[in-house]
Copies of this chain bind each other. A is one copy, B any other.
Amino acid sequence: MKNLILASTSTLHGQDYLEYILPTLKEHFKGCTEILFIPYARPGGISHDEYTQLAKKAFEKIGLNVKGIHEFDNAADAVAGAEGIFTGGGNTFLLVEQLYYHNLLTPLKDAIEKGTPYLGTSAGTNIGGLTMKTTNDMPIVYPPSFKTLGFVPFNINPHYLDPDPNSTHKGETRETRIKEFHQFNTPPVVGLREGSWLEVKDQNIILKGELSARIFKAGKEPYEVEPETLFNDLS
């Protein structure tokens, strides 16, 4: 009974927070009045309160209230009782460290299994994969494990970026990094470009948005898939 949106990014260039995906979210969270927001990833180091205000301002536009998980006495109870859940982006190491610290992995899995609608953006999408080993983030804190929620049977690389043919920079391209991942890990990786998201409904995982996604499998050449592609066989 899964019902998830795993989005590459919260924000498109020149737009407001969540603007591009609000019509979709209105449908996704139909029947909810309040969304539980998980602000642990703290983009740019902003506070839980500041981050929750940002989410609140966006969701107001579709008539939904937002409450931060840090406002509850018991985080696990907040997840269990949530009508809908949104995990925002920021630093994936910090997010995962906090999810373990607050013992939220099992409550989150249980909530998703029983059908609580979930939205992840960026780091909040990363944790929907099997592990956080394909995050782009800096390891600013040491989480007790890189294992994440496994809402989908593969890994996700949000904010996927194609190599810049004009770059003179010698840092690794995203594709090189994912190739290194596959030297030591077998799960496929979905490179989700900004503006794309995965819609997970029951057993169906579908690519949404206007852009293609790039699929990486261990020992294979990466390839592109078009919107509306069904990922059910990807694992």
Q: A: which residues have CB within 8 A of B? A: 9-14, 42-45, 90-91, 93-94, 132-142, 145-146, 159, 161, 168-172, 176-185, 194
Contacts and interface: CB of A to CB of B under 8 A. Distances in A.
A93 B10 CA distance: 28
Contact of A171 (B134, B161, B176, B178): B161
A177 B137 contact: yes
- A-B pairs, top 6 by smallest CB distance, nearest first, are A13-B168, A45-B183, A159-B171, A138-B177, A140-B181, A9-B170
26 contacts: A10-B170, A12-B170, A14-B168, A42-B183, A43-B176, A44-B172, A44-B176, A44-B179, A45-B179, A45-B182, A45-B183, A91-B177, A91-B180, A93-B139, A133-B138, A133-B139, A134-B138, A137-B177, A138-B178, A138-B180, A138-B181, A140-B177, A140-B183, A140-B185, A159-B171, A169-B194
Contact of A139 (B42, B44, B132, B194): B132
Contact of A170 (B91, B139, B169, B194): B194
Identical subunits present: 2
Nearest to A9: B170
Given A42-B183, A161-B171, 11 more contacts: A42-B180, A93-B139, A133-B141, A133-B142, A136-B138, A136-B172, A138-B177, A141-B184, A142-B146, A159-B170, A170-B194
A142 B133 CA distance: 8
A91 B176 CA distance: 10
Nearest to A14: B168
A171 to B, nearest CB: 4
A161 B172 contact: no
Given A142-B145, A145-B142, A43 B170 contact: no
Nearest to A121: B170
From A9, A91, A139, name the one whose CB has the most chain B CB atoms within 10 angstroms: A139
A44 B183 CA distance: 9
A142 to B, nearest CB: 5
A44 B142 contact: no
A95 B134 CA distance: 17
Nearest to A10: B170
